[in-house]
Each structure stands twice: as structure tokens, then as C-alpha cells.
Amino acid sequence: MKKSLILFDIDGTLLQSDINQIPVSTIEAIQKLKEAGHELAVATGRALFLVDECIRNLPFSTFVTANGQHITHHGEVVYENAIPTEVVENLIQEANKLDMVIGLLSATRSTVTGMNDDVIESFKRVSMPLPEIIENIHQEDAILQAWYFSDDFKHLPETFKNDLRFVPWLSFGADIVPLNGSKAEGIKQLINHLSEKPEQIIAFGDGHNDIEMLQLADIGVAMGNASDEVKAHADFVTKRIDENGIYYACETLGLF
């Protein structure tokens, strides 16, 4: 059996967001993978402080967070890729002109520039608390990514095409990351840091922000609840999260 680096998205992959729980079979699979000697990592759009305690309590040694912009390995920060402050400032100004709300995420806190029904619904869907409105957070913290809470991006992607990427969510809205930012790029940085390189990379995901990660992996696994677009980039499509999808894939692929 090859010793692998196995990465898991959170929302819709590890965590069933509608009930905010990890399936029992997933917990069992994670424990078996660890016992088999694999290196286990989380790869999520969330910042580390937004990762649920139930996930932190599992045997993950590495957290690739903020869509690859911040990486901790055995508790040590080994990589950070922030959006330049002036770009964040310009993004806020342009969104304000359009009367649009954006969110900002650093390694330790988050904020939104306003509040509306789309913002409330976005956080509700992933069972995350609404952040406070913090003025000028980008002047104090390194901003790892921004959030956009509408499916109408206006001219923003074109305006910021040299600085930012808009990665759509499954429903509406998008993560906004540095132009060179993605989970895949974060994983490359992680591998550069590891003293012992994995024999293969396996990645599990269900969202648009997982596509590059699935493409990078030697085996990209899409959850059964993923969209057809995401599934098209996977090497293996497993069952849904609520149908023991992770355990089924690990067993089928001979990972334990």
C-alpha cells in the first residue's frame, strides 16, 4: 500500500452542512487511514479558526485553509499568501459603488462590509456564525481571501483580473483569492515543506474550489453530492456524504 497524502474538503465532504455533523462512517474511515500510516490533511475555504472542533479532534496533522492561502503543519504556520492591502482596499471601494457586500477573512477573524439576506443565507448554509462588522480590518490583518454574496459579479472579475480570482460557490456567491491562489497551489507549497514526500496524493471534494485540487491529485475523488462539473474533473466519484461516501471510497480504493 502506498503511503499517501490524503486531503479532505470540509463542507459537503467531511461535514454534512445541513445538520452540521460528520457521519460516523467518516470518523471511522479517518481513524483507519491514520492507522494505515497515511498523512491526513484538511483542505478548506475556511480559515483555521472557523474549522469546527469536531474536525480538529480528528487525527489531522495539516490544515490547508482559506483555499490554500494559509497552511499549518503540526501547529506551525508554513505558508501564507495574502491579498495585497491596496487590492483589498480597491475591492471594497468598487463593491461599495455597486452597493454590494463583501466579506474579508484573515487567519484569526472575519468581517463583512454590511448585512443583507444573501449574507445571512450564505453563513446559514455552512452553519457558520455571522461575523461582526469590523472597520478597516484589512489595515490591521493580512487578508487571505474575500467573499462575494451574489451570483451577479458585475464588472468586478474584469476589473481585478490581474490580481484576483473569483471562485463560484455551488449556489450563489464566490470566494475571492489571489490570482495565484488555490487549494492546489497550497498543496504544492505543503509538499515542498514536507521532509518525507508522499508516494501519492489523494483529494476528496465536492465544490468548485476543489476542482484544481482534484486535478492535481493522483486520485481525485468527487463526492456523490458534487455537481456534474466537479465530478467531470475527478478520477473517482463516490457516494454522497450521507451515504457513507468517504468510507466507501477509501475501502474501494484499498486505502486501508
Q: Which three cell numbers stand for residue 165?
A: 480570482
Establish whether 141 is a catalytic residue.
no
Report the alpha-carbon distance of residue 154 to residue 220 in Å, rounded.
33
DSSP string, 167-201: EE-SSS-EEEEETT--HHHHHHHHHHH-SS--SEE
Catalytic entry in 9, 11, 141, 175: 9
Residue 194, CB half-sphere, CA atoms under 13 Å: how many? 19
Report the alpha-carbon distance of residue 95 to residue 86 in Å, rounded.
14
Burial class (CB in 10 A: 0-12, 13-18, 19+), 117: exposed
Task: Identify each DSSP E strand in the chain by its residue range.
Answer: 4-8, 39-43, 62-65, 70-73, 76-80, 102-105, 110-112, 145-148, 164-168, 174-178, 200-205, 219-222, 236-237
How many Cβ atoms are within 10 Å of 144's Cβ, its own excluded?
24
Contact 144, 106 (CB under 8 A): yes
Edge to edge, what strands does the sheet with 145-148 contain? 110-112, 102-105, 145-148, 174-178, 164-168
Strand partners, 208: none
Active site amino acids: 9
